[in-house]
Amino acid sequence: MTGRDAAGLPFREAIVDLDALAGNVRTLAARMAPAEIIAVVKADAYGHGAVAAARAALAGGATRLGVADLDEAHELREAGIDAPVLAWLHGPDPDFARAVHAGIELGISSRVQLDRAAEAAASVVADGVGASARVHLKIDTGLSRNGVPEAEWAEVVAVAAGLERDGLVDVVGIFSHFANTSREVDAAQVDAFERALADARAAGLAPRIRHIASTEQALRDPGARYDAVRIGIGMYGLTPFGDGTTSTELGLTPVMTLRARVAAVRRVEAGTGASYSHIWHAEHASTLALVPLGYADGVPRQASGNGADVLIAGRRRSVVGRIAMDQFIVDVGDDEVAVGDEVVLFGDPATGAPTADEWGAAAGTIGYEIVTRIGPRVPRRYVGGGAAAVDDVAEVRS
C-alpha cells in the first residue's frame, strides 16, 4: 500500500530535510568548538530515521554518534557507517563480543558490565581479531538512573585501569548526564563529575573524551562542554528549553514536517457535535475538514480540545473534537477547503506552520515526544543533500 492517490500525491507523510539537519549540526558545532559533537541518533533518530540522520550529522561536522542500545548501533554499522558509535543502555546479558568485533564503543555503568566487556574482548582476541573493548565509563552524578554510583567509582576505575594495562579495555571516555533540574543541581553535578575525573586520573586512566552535556547544558554553560557534547534535540531543530526560547532564536531549523491531505469536507449547522464524545459543538454553521492522521500515527490524543493548530491554505486552523486513532477534524469556518488540500501539522515556523513544540504544549508534553512518536504508518520522505543515497526499502517506510 503506497498511501498515494492516482496523482501520486501522498496521503500522509513526514518530510525529513537532511540539509536542515546538517545545517543545525554546523550551527551547534561552531558554538561548541573546540568540543566534539556526538550526534545522538537513538530511537530511530528521534523518529527521523537513524541511518539518514547519522549520515547528515556527520556531513554537518559531527565526529561521533550516540545511541541507546546495541541493536541501534549495529543498524548503523550494517548500513556502512564507520564513525565511532557509542551505545550506553544494556540489558542483563548483552552481546558485547559482537559489539567489540564491530568496533562499537560501550557505555559502562557498573562493575559487572566492565567485567563482561573485558570477557568479551578476551573472547574476540581468542578468535584472532585482537581488539580490546572500547569503553566510556559512566558515573552517576545525580540523575539516579544508570551509571556507577559515586561510592563504587574508585573501585571501578581501578579495575578499568588494570584491564587497560592488560589490553582488554581501552577507556576512551568518561561521561555522565545532567538531570536538567536547576542551575544549582547542575553545578553540583559538575562538581561530582570533576571528583570522578580526579579519581580516574589517580587510578592511572587518561580518557580522551569527557562528556556530560546534552544540547541544553551545552548551549547554556560553556564550562560543561569538556571534550565533547551530546547533541540530540537541537540537531533536529527543536528547542531544549522549556522557558519559551524558540528554535528560531537558537538559529535552528526544524527538520521534520508532518503533513497529510484533507480526506473529507463537511458543512455542519450550529450546535452540531463532532468526533467522539462530542466534546466540541459548532458555535455557528461551519465547514469541517477531516485529516487522516491520528494517535496510531503518533498524533497525541491528549491534544484534543487544547489549542492544537494545523496549517491549511496558508492559515492556521484549530483542531476540534477528539483526536481519534486514524483521523481528526479541523474547523475551517467559511473558508474554501477541498478534498486533497495539504494539511501541515508541524514543521518550520518560517513557513507559518505550527511547531512540534507547540503540539507538545497542547498535549502537555515536549516536542521531543511529538517527533519521536510518529508511527511507521507515516512514510518518511528525505529531501536535501544525501537524500538520493537513502535506501528506499530500509529508510523510506512507505
Give pLDDT tens digits for 152-168: 999 999 999 999 999 99
**With bands split at pLDDT 50, 70 and 90, how would you rate the model's confidence at 227?**
very high
Give the Cα separation of 171 and 121 in Å (integer): 13
Q: How far is CA 122 from CA 100, 114, 168, 309, in A?
A: 10, 12, 6, 57
What architecture is the 18-236 domain classified under in CATH? Alpha-Beta Barrel (3.20)
Angle at 161 between CA 77 and CA 207, to 5 degrees: 55
User: By CB neighbour count within 10 A (0-12 exposed, 13-18 middle, 19+ buried), where does 47 fall?
Assistant: buried
CA atoms lying within 13 Å on the CB side of residue 199: 22
Q: Per-residue pLDDT averaged across 176-187, rounded?
A: 91
- Report which of residues 2 and 108 the model is more confident about: 108
pLDDT of residue 350: 94
The closest alpha carbon to 146, from 191, 97, 113, belongs to: 113
pLDDT tens track for 26-41: 999 999 999 999 999 9
CB atoms inside a 10 Å sphere around CB 271: 10
Q: Which of 42, 46, 226, 382 is catalytic?
A: 42
pLDDT tens track for 201-217: 999 999 999 999 999 99
Cell of 173: 571516555
Q: Per-residue pLDDT averaged across 77-97, rounded?
A: 97
pLDDT tens track for 92-142: 999 999 999 999 999 999 999 999 999 999 998 766 667 899 999 999 999
Q: Which of 236, 276, 368, 382 is catalytic?
A: 276
Model confidence, pTM: 0.92
Q: Per-residue pLDDT averaged across 347-369, rounded?
A: 96
pLDDT of residue 10: 84
**With bands split at pLDDT 50, 70 and 90, how would you rate the model's confidence at 380?**
very high
* Fold match between domain 18-236 and domain 256-389: no
List binding-site positions. 145, 325
pLDDT of residue 393: 34
11-41 core/surface letters (b: 16 or more CB in 10 A; e: else): bbbbbbbbbbbbbbbbbbbebbeebbbbbbb
The overall average pLDDT reported for the chain is 93
Q: How far is CA 392 from CA 74, 376, 379, 388, 389, in A?
A: 19, 14, 11, 9, 9
List binding-site positions for substrate. 145, 325
Q: Per-residue pLDDT averaged across 52-73, rounded?
A: 98
pLDDT of residue 396: 39
pLDDT of residue 208: 96
Domain ranges of the chain: 18-236, 256-389
**With bands split at pLDDT 50, 70 and 90, how would you rate the model's confidence at 392?**
very low
Give me the percent of the chain exceeding a pLDDT of 90. 89
Active site residue 42: yes
The count of residues in the chain is 398
pLDDT of residue 388: 59
What class does CATH assign to 256-389? mainly beta
**pLDDT exceeds 50 at position 1:** no
**With bands split at pLDDT 50, 70 and 90, how would you rate the model's confidence at 391?**
very low
Give the Cα separation of 241 and 358 in Å (integer): 13
Give me the percent of the chain exceeding a pLDDT of 70. 93
